[in-house]
Amino acid sequence: MTTRRFYLLLTVAFVLCSYNAMAQTEYYCYPSVSGEKVYFTLSESKLGLIVPKENKELIDYIEANVQILAWGRDNGIEKYFITRADYEKLVSLDVWKKYSNSVILTRCFINKYRQEGVETGAITLKLKKEEDVDLLNYYIDKYKLRIVGHNSEQSPLSYRLLITVDSGTGALECANALYETGHFAKSYPEISPLNPLDGQASSGIATPKKKESSAVFDLQGRRLQGEPRKGVYVSCGRKYVLR
C-alpha cells in the first residue's frame, strides 16, 4: 500500500509540475478574425530594448559597443534587438543603471516553423464599431498605452497602440487581454521577423548596418566628454589601453 501511495503521489507531482511548466512557457496570440490562437515558444537567447531617444548616452553606448541583431525607430523611441549575453553585460554598467527605469524589455519568439520573431512593443487593434472608441480609451488608460497610429478617413476602426514603461506587462499579454474582453474585432501584438527579407519590415524593424561611432566609454559604460587619459576604455565594441 505504501509503495502504491508513493507512486500515486509521484504521478500527481509529475502532472502538476508539467502543467506548471506549460503555464509558464505557453505563449499565444489571436492574429485572425476567427479568434484562433497561434502558439509559439520563447527564445531565451535574444531580447529587445525599447529606448526613448532622450537616453542618448545609452543609445550611443549600445550602437558603439553592442552587437545589434535588428533595429528600428518608432514615434520617438529606438528599438534594438540583441543577444542575452550582451544584455547581461549592459545591466552591469552605470550607464544602464542610470536609464533602466525608462527602458522597456521585449521578447523573441519562435513559431511552429522554427522562425524567430521579435515583439516591437506595438499592438494592432480594430474596433467593432466607431462608438467603441470610448471602450478603447478606457483600456488605454487601464494598461497605460499610447495611440501611435490612426487614420480616421481610410481606416476609422483601426488603431496602432504602443506599450509604455507604466504598462506593467508586455505587448503580447496586453493584446490578448484586450481581445479576450470581447469588445474588439482584432487585437494582436506586432511580431516582426528578426532577419527580414530585404532588410525591411512593416513594423520598422530592419537588419542593422554597422554604425560608425567615435564615442569612447569607460568600463562603467560612461561616455567620455573630453580626451581620454591613461586607463582602459571601450570604443566600437573593443577595449583598448591608453598608457
* Model pLDDT for residues 165-198, shown as the tens digit of each residue: 999 899 999 999 999 999 999 999 999 887 543 3
Residue 142 lies in a domain: yes
Residue 168 lies in a domain: yes
Return the CATH number at 129: 3.30.70.1110
The burial of 148, by beta-carbon neighbours within 10 Å (0-12 exposed, 13-18 middle, 19 or more buried), is given as middle
| First-to-last C-alpha distance (Å) of the chain | 76
More confident residue, 23 or 242: 242
Report the domain count for the chain: 1
- Name the average pLDDT for the chain: 82
From residue 155, alpha-carbon distances to 44, 129, 131 in Å are 37, 12, 14
Provide the strand spans (E) within the chain. 27-29, 38-52, 70-74, 77-83, 104-110, 116-127, 146-151, 155-162, 184-193, 205-206, 231-235, 238-242
In this prediction, residue 213 carries a pLDDT of 60
Mean pLDDT of 219-239: 64
Q: Is pLDDT of 16 > 50?
A: no
Q: What secondary structure, in 3-state letters, does 94-133 show?
A: HHHHHHHHHCEEEEEEECCCCCEEEEEEEEEEEECCHHHH
Mean pLDDT of 204-230: 64
Residue 200 lies in a domain: no
Residue 24 lies in a domain: no
Query: Which domain, by its residues, includes 170?
Result: 121-190
Q: Is pLDDT of 131 > 80?
A: yes
In this prediction, residue 159 carries a pLDDT of 97
In this prediction, residue 123 carries a pLDDT of 97
Q: What percent of the chain has pLDDT over 90?
A: 59
* Model pLDDT for residues 41-92, shown as the tens digit of each residue: 999 999 999 999 999 999 999 998 899 998 888 888 999 999 999 999 999 9
Residue 37 lies in a domain: no
Residue 22 lies in a domain: no
In this prediction, residue 199 carries a pLDDT of 39
In this prediction, residue 243 carries a pLDDT of 58
In this prediction, residue 214 carries a pLDDT of 65
Residue 28 lies in a domain: no
